[in-house]
């Protein structure tokens, strides 16, 4: 969380090669029943999306749409985190 929270466009290249694996790891924790964990995940997803909007915003949007279309089967935890 701290590494992501304090990133900016100047030092982004250091994190750039790890963004995909960080993104997958964060989404793996979207279904955590603990609200505090989901809040941290949401914060990190938002920060990463702001840093790499051209790449991550379409992915985030697609994920949200997919979960919204499948509301009955989608986890409410995932929907609230996204």
pLDDT digits (tens, 9 = 90+) for 3-16: 777 776 676 677 78
What the block records as the tokens of 69 is 């279309």
pTM, two decimals, is 0.73
Angle (deg, nearest 10), helices 19-28 and 53-69:
20
Q: Residue 15's closest CA among 40, 59, 47? A: 47
Residue the block writes with tokens 């995909």? 20
Query: What is the reported pLDDT for 5?
Result: 75
User: Can you tell me the distance from the alpha carbon of 50 to that of 56, in angstroms, rounded to the nearest whole number?
Assistant: 8
pLDDT digits (tens, 9 = 90+) for 52-77: 888 888 988 887 777 655 554 466 67
User: Can you tell me the distance from the alpha carbon of 23 to that of 45, in angstroms, rounded to the nearest whole number?
Assistant: 7
Using a pLDDT cut of 90, give the percent of the chain over it: 6
Query: What is the reported pLDDT for 15?
Result: 78
């Amino acid at each position: 969380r701290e590494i992501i929270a304090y990133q900016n466009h100047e030092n982004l290249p250091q994190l750039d090669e790890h963004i995909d694996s960080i993104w997958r790891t964060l989404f793996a924790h979207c279904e955590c029943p603990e609200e505090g964990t989901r809040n941290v995940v949401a914060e990190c997803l938002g920060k990463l999306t702001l840093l790499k909007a051209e790449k991550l915003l379409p992915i985030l949007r697609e994920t949200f749409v997919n979960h919204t279309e499948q509301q009955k089967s989608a986890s409410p935890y995932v929907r609230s985190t996204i």
